[in-house]
Chains A and B, each alone.
Chain A
Amino acid sequence: DVKVTQSSRYLVKRTGEKVFLECVQDMDHENMFWYRQDPGLGLRLIYFSYDVKMKEKGDIPEGYSVSREKKERFSLILESASTNQTSMYLCASSLNLNTEAFFGQGTRLTVV
């Protein structure tokens, strides 16, 4: 079974802190994604990566950056956390174009 693991289930950070959310997948998938999920808004794509060191902006990249130094790991970085970044963050991976994405269990981030 594909496993996508996010490093934390719950995080509380202060406004202005630099925050790292880590995600690891164990199935050698090419593509990895970061979404945020908010009530009533569904899942919105922040960034995705289709190869090591490659990244593309999603629909809401402002305030975020990403890093993919190794194929199995995709990190989401909040350079200076703000309260409007309080959300559920979901990492996913997929083998290639037009195949299903497998999700991690999510990280609920609260910025105070």
Chain B
Amino acid sequence: GESVGLHLPTLSVQEGDNSIINCAYSNSASDYFIWYKQESGKGPQFIIDIRSNMDKRQGQRVTVLLNKTVKHLSLQIAATQPGDSAVYFCAESSGNNRLAFGKGNQVVVIP
């Protein structure tokens, strides 16, 4: 929603540059991870997911990297566009039917 971005870490990136958003997770039993994008006034939208048997997965202009050793997840956005301005959340699941979300990162694209 419109106030989601308050108090969040903010990444400002020039249009056309690549963006990297990082996420640390805490549960070593988590085996499924998702990145969501939330634009102002909307619900979160699925971007890309990855399972723990992989360390990299690519989508259209996005790549997710998973480092299980240090419990770290990252989302890379290539050639960032103004429409990429949003709050980005990582989420993890350990197969217990629930997703645990991070607090989010605000991305601001500078034209």
Binding site for B on A (CB under 8 A): 4, 31, 33, 35, 37, 39-45, 48, 50, 56, 58, 88, 90, 92, 97-98, 100-106, 108
Of the candidates B6, B8, B89, B93, the one whose C-beta lies within 8 Å of that of A43 is B89
Residues of A near B102 (CB, < 8 A) are 42
Bound-complex Cα distance A98 to B51 (A): 9
Of the candidates A39, A42, A92, A102, the one whose C-beta lies within 8 Å of that of B3 is A39
17 A-B interface contacts by CB (under 8 A): A31-B97, A33-B98, A39-B7, A40-B6, A42-B101, A42-B104, A43-B44, A45-B98, A45-B99, A48-B98, A88-B3, A98-B31, A98-B51, A98-B93, A100-B49, A103-B45, A105-B41
Bound-complex Cα distance A91 to B51 (A): 24
Residues of B near A102 (CB, < 8 A) are 46
Contacting pair A101 B99 (CB below 8 A): yes
Bound-complex Cα distance A98 to B97 (A): 7
Nearest-CB residue, chain B, relative to A106:
B43
| Residues of B65-111 contacting chain A, CB below 8 A | 89, 91, 93, 95, 97-104
Residues of A near B13 (CB, < 8 A) are none
B contact residues, total (Cβ < 8 Å): 31
Nearest-CB residue, chain A, relative to B51:
A98
Contacting pair B89 A105 (CB below 8 A): no
Q: A31-B97, A50-B97, A106-B1 are in contact. List 16 more A-B contacts (CB 8 A).
A: A33-B98, A33-B99, A39-B3, A43-B89, A45-B98, A48-B97, A48-B98, A56-B97, A58-B98, A90-B43, A97-B95, A98-B32, A98-B93, A102-B46, A103-B44, A105-B41
Contacting pair B31 A37 (CB below 8 A): no
Nearest-CB residue, chain B, relative to A49:
B97
Question: Within 8 Å of chain A (Cβ to Cβ): is B61?
Answer: no
Residues of B near A44 (CB, < 8 A) are 101
Nearest-CB residue, chain A, relative to B33:
A98
Residues of B near A31 (CB, < 8 A) are 97
